[in-house]
């Protein structure tokens, strides 16, 4: 709605605002669909490791998604941030663990999840997903020693074991 107001120089028709509100309400009603293996992997890793969910976006929407996912109790902490930068990760890994050297960020955004976590000194694991926004695409840092790419989450426990051993 804010964008519609801005791009129309405050002349957006009420009917357009009504359409935007309807679309937003429909999005809020849409059920959360977990990625394959997400529930099992998060449950397995939470038994032996400290898990912190770092997500960006609207606070209420992210809280709603986490509650609907049924995974919230498996995380030791949740950080909902406005942007994911190396400083964001460095700070979060310091607050909730032993710092970035012993942290691993797993995500489907090369730009927001993997690259800034690597720059902060953590492990960065890319799990591609077909619905990732084009704005989140970036070149894979394949030569980086702490970069890994997995086809899906099922291989994550073995990767964690291999780097934490």
| Position 46 pLDDT exceeds 90 | yes
Q: How far apart are CA 61 and CA 115, in angstroms?
A: 25
Sign of CA dihedral 57, 55, 79, 39: positive
Q: Are 122 and 94 in contact (CB under 8 A)?
A: no
Mean pLDDT of 48-58: 94
Same domain flag for 139 and 93: yes
Same domain flag for 61 and 101: yes
Query: Which domain, by its residues, includes 26?
Result: 1-30
Same domain flag for 26 and 59: no
Q: What is the pLDDT of residue 115?
A: 97
Same domain flag for 46 and 109: yes
Q: Residue 15 pairs with which residues in a beta bridge? A: none
Helix, strand, or coil (residue 17): helix
Higher pLDDT, 117 or 140: 117
Q: What is the pLDDT of residue 31?
A: 81
Indicate the length of the chain as a whole number.
Answer: 165
């Amino acid at each position: 709605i804010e964008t519609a107001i801005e791009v129309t120089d405050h002349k957006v028709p009420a009917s357009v605002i009504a359409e935007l509100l309807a679309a937003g309400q429909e999005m809020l009603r849409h059920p959360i669909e977990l990625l394959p293996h997400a529930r099992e992997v998060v449950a397995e890793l939470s038994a032996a490791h400290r898990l912190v969910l770092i997500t960006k976006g609207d606070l209420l929407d992210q809280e709603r998604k986490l509650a609907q996912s049924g995974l919230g109790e498996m995380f030791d902490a949740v950080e909902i941030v406005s942007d994911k930068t190396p400083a964001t990760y460095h700070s979060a890994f310091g607050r909730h663990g032993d710092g970035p050297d012993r942290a691993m960020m797993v995500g489907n955004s090369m730009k927001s999840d993997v690259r800034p976590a690597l720059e902060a000194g953590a492990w960065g694991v890319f799990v591609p997903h077909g619905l990732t926004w084009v704005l989140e695409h970036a070149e894979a840092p394949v030569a980086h020693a702490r970069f890994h790419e997995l086809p899906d989450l099922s291989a994550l426990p073995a990767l964690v074991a291999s780097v934490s051993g």
